[in-house]
Amino acid sequence: MVQKLDRLKESPSQTAGPYVHIGTNPNSVEIKGVWNEDLGSRMLNTQTLGERIVLEGRVLDGSGAPLKDVLVEIWQADAQGLYPSPQEKRGKADPHFAGWGRQPVDPVTGIYHFETVKPGRVPYRDGRMMAPHVTFWLVSRGINLGLHTRLYFADEEEANAQCPVLARIEHTRRIPTLIASRSEANGLATYTFDIRLQGEGETVFFDI
């Protein structure tokens, strides 16, 4: 026998199941009055700095069908590229920006919808700048361990070309699975980002 290491094992994951919204977004499933507002439902207020944008899309299974029960969380830097986190040592993030959002998808269409701001660039480990991006985390019935991916912006071609993370994707034809397309209506940009769990065009997921 050898001495025991003072390490613990991470608790193993289990699926969020079909009723995850009872715990995370109870108001969205008609459990009213426990708390007033579902956490993560608003990322902005009137004073938030930066370009307001919408992120929209669906999460598709291996048959191409949109998931109706998936929960989507996002985490991103503010417009200046600072995270609202105590771990952020480079400066103070916009106090009017949450950085984190969480939404169920529409139970009929399967579309998620976030109102946020375009994030600024943040550095990679070696100081090179990553392209602006939004971290996505997906949980649902049938997903045994939450899936991490990133949304990048189609109109940031130059930054995307220099991004050290995108550069690590050996199969370059998979890079477009991380890039949201831009459309504009009434001066408001919407970025559309469909996530494919499996099959043709499977999204790149990260082991972080």
Q: Which of 44, 72, 143, 179 binds another protein (CB under 8 A)?
A: 143
Residue count of the chain, please give it.
208
Closer residue to another protein in complex, CB, 109/198: 198
26: left (phi over 0), alpha (psi -120 to 50) or beta: alpha
- Does position 91 interact with another protein (CB under 8 A)? The reply is no
Note whether 62 binds another protein by CB under 8 A: yes
- Collapse the DSSP code of 7 into the 3-class scheme (helix H, G, I; strand E, B; otherwise coil) and give the result: coil
CA atoms of 142 and 145, how far apart (whole Å): 9
Residue 111 site contact among another protein, Fe ion, none (CB < 5 to 8 Å, cut-off depends on kind):
none
State yes or no: residue 85 binds another protein (CB under 8 A).
yes
Host H or E run for residue 158: helix 157-162
With residue 134 as reference, give the H or E element that holds it: strand 133-139
CA distance 177 to 193: 8
55 touching another protein, by CB under 8 A: no
Q: Which is nearer to another protein, 145 or 188 (CB)?
A: 145
Kindly provide the b/e burial profile for residues 117-144, where b requires at least 16 CB atoms within 10 angstroms of the residue's own CB.
bbbebbeeeeeeebbbbbbbbbbbeebe
Does position 77 interact with another protein (CB under 8 A)? The reply is yes
From another protein, Fe ion, none, interface partner of 34 (C-beta below 5 to 8 A by class): another protein
**Where in 123-142 is the site for Fe ion (CB under 5 A)?**
none
**Range 182-201, binding another protein (CB under 8 A):** 197-199
**105 is a site residue for another protein (CB under 8 A):** no
Which of 42, 51, 92, 174 is close enough to bind another protein by CB under 8 A?
174
In our burial notation (b when 16+ CB lie closer than 10 A, e otherwise), range 18-42 reads eebbeebbbeebeeeeeeeebebbe
Single out the residue of 44, 53, 67, 131 in contact with another protein (rule: CB under 8 A): 67
Interaction residues for another protein, span 20-49 (CB under 8 A): 20-24, 26, 29-31, 33-35, 39
Nearest to 147 by CA among 205, 95, 62, 187: 205
Q: Which two tokens stand for residue 44?
A: 């902005």
> Which of 109-117, 121-129, 153-161, 184-192 is the region at the interface with another protein (rule: CB under 8 A)?
121-129
Among positions 15, 17, 27, 164, the unique one binding Fe ion when judged by CB under 5 A: 17
Task: Kindly list the residues in this chain that would bind Fe ion in the complex (CB under 5 A).
Answer: 17
